[in-house]
C-alpha cells in the first residue's frame, strides 16, 4: 500500500472534520471557536494540495474529496452561521416561545444563500479549465473567512456603531446575497502564489501583502473582510490595466 498516496486525502478529511466541529460550535453560538475551526480547515485545505503535488499523487478521488470537504467547511458552516445571526437579531425582544414559531425561521433561511452559492461555485470550479493558475470569482475559503469574521468582529469590537450596523438582519441578508454573487461572478482574481519576487511580475501580490499586513496591524480582526475586499478590488484594477 502506498502510504504517501493516502496522506493528501487524510489531510482533506481533517478539513472536513474541522468543518463538522465548526458546525457544532455555530449551533452553540460560539462563533469564536467556529471561526478557529474554519481557519484550521482552510489550513488543511491548503496543505492537501501541497502534499499531493510534492508526492505526485494527485488523483480524481482527491479532487472530489477536496470539493466535498470544502462544501462543509466553506459552504455549510458560513451559511449556517449567517442563519444563526439573522435569526438572533431578527428575534431580539421576542419571547422564546414566539421565536420558535415557524414563521420566525423563514427570513433567516436567506443565510443559506451562501451555501447554495458555494455549492454552485465548487461544482463550476471542478469543470472550469480556466482556473488552474488563478481564480474566477472569490474562492470559497476566502468567502468563508469573510462571513465567519462578522460575528467575531461583533463579539470583540469596541465600536458600538459597527455592532449596530452589523446586527441589522436585512444588512446580513444583503451580505449573504453579495457573497453568493462574488463567489460566482466572472471576475478574474490574481493568484496569491508569487512565481518570482520581482516587482514587474508580482507587483499586485506584493502590494496586497503589504496592505494586508498594515490593515491587520491597525485593525486586527476587523481587517479581515477589508483584506478580502481589497483582494477583489486589486484584481479588478489589474484586469483593467492588462485588458
SS3 189: strand
pLDDT at 212: 92
pLDDT tens, residue by residue, 179-221:
999 999 988 888 766 555 566 667 888 888 899 999 999 888 8
pLDDT tens, residue by residue, 154-178:
988 877 888 889 999 999 999 999 9
SS3 188: strand
For residue 158, which phi and psi values (nearest 5 degrees)?
-100, 0
Asked if 214 and 152 touch (Cβ cutoff 8 Å), the reply is no
pLDDT band, residue 131 (cuts 50/70/90):
low
Asked if 66 and 52 touch (Cβ cutoff 8 Å), the reply is no
pLDDT at 130: 74
Q: What does pTM read for this prediction?
A: 0.87
Cα(166)–Cα(43) distance, integer angstroms: 27
User: Whose grid coordinates read 457544532?
Assistant: 24
Give me the sign of the Cα torsion angle 70, 75, 78, 80.
negative
pLDDT band, residue 93 (cuts 50/70/90):
low
Amino acid at each position: 500500500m502506498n502510504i504517501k498516496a493516502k496522506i493528501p486525502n487524510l489531510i482533506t478529511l481533517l478539513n472536513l472534520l474541522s468543518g463538522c466541529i465548526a458546525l457544532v460550535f455555530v449551533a452553540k453560538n460560539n462563533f469564536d471557536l467556529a471561526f478557529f475551526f474554519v481557519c484550521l480547515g482552510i489550513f488543511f485545505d491548503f496543505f492537501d494540495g501541497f502534499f499531493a503535488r510534492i508526492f505526485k499523487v494527485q488523483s480524481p478521488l482527491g479532487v472530489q474529496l477536496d470539493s466535498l470537504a470544502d462544501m462543509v467547511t466553506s459552504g455549510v458552516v458560513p451559511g449556517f452561521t449567517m442563519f444563526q445571526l439573522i435569526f438572533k437579531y431578527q428575534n431580539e425582544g421576542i419571547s422564546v416561545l414566539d421565536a420558535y414559531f415557524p414563521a420566525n425561521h423563514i427570513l433567516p433561511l436567506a443565510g443559506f444563500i451562501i451555501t447554495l452559492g458555494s455549492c454552485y461555485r465548487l461544482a463550476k470550479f471542478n469543470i472550469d479549465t480556466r482556473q488552474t493558475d488563478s481564480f474566477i470569482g472569490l474562492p470559497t475559503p476566502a468567502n468563508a473567512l469573510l462571513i465567519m469574521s462578522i460575528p467575531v468582529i461583533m463579539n470583540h469590537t469596541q465600536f458600538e456603531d459597527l455592532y449596530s450596523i452589523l446586527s441589522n438582519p436585512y444588512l446580513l441578508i444583503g451580505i449573504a446575497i453579495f457573497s453568493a454573487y462574488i463567489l460566482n461572478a466572472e471576475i478574474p482574481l490574481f493568484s496569491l502564489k508569487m512565481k518570482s519576487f520581482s516587482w514587474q511580475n508580482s507587483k499586485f501580490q506584493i502590494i496586497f501583502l503589504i496592505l494586508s499586513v498594515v490593515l491587520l496591524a491597525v485593525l486586527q480582526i476587523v481587517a479581515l473582510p477589508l483584506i478580502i475586499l481589497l483582494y477583489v478590488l486589486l484584481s479588478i484594477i489589474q484586469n483593467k490595466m492588462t485588458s
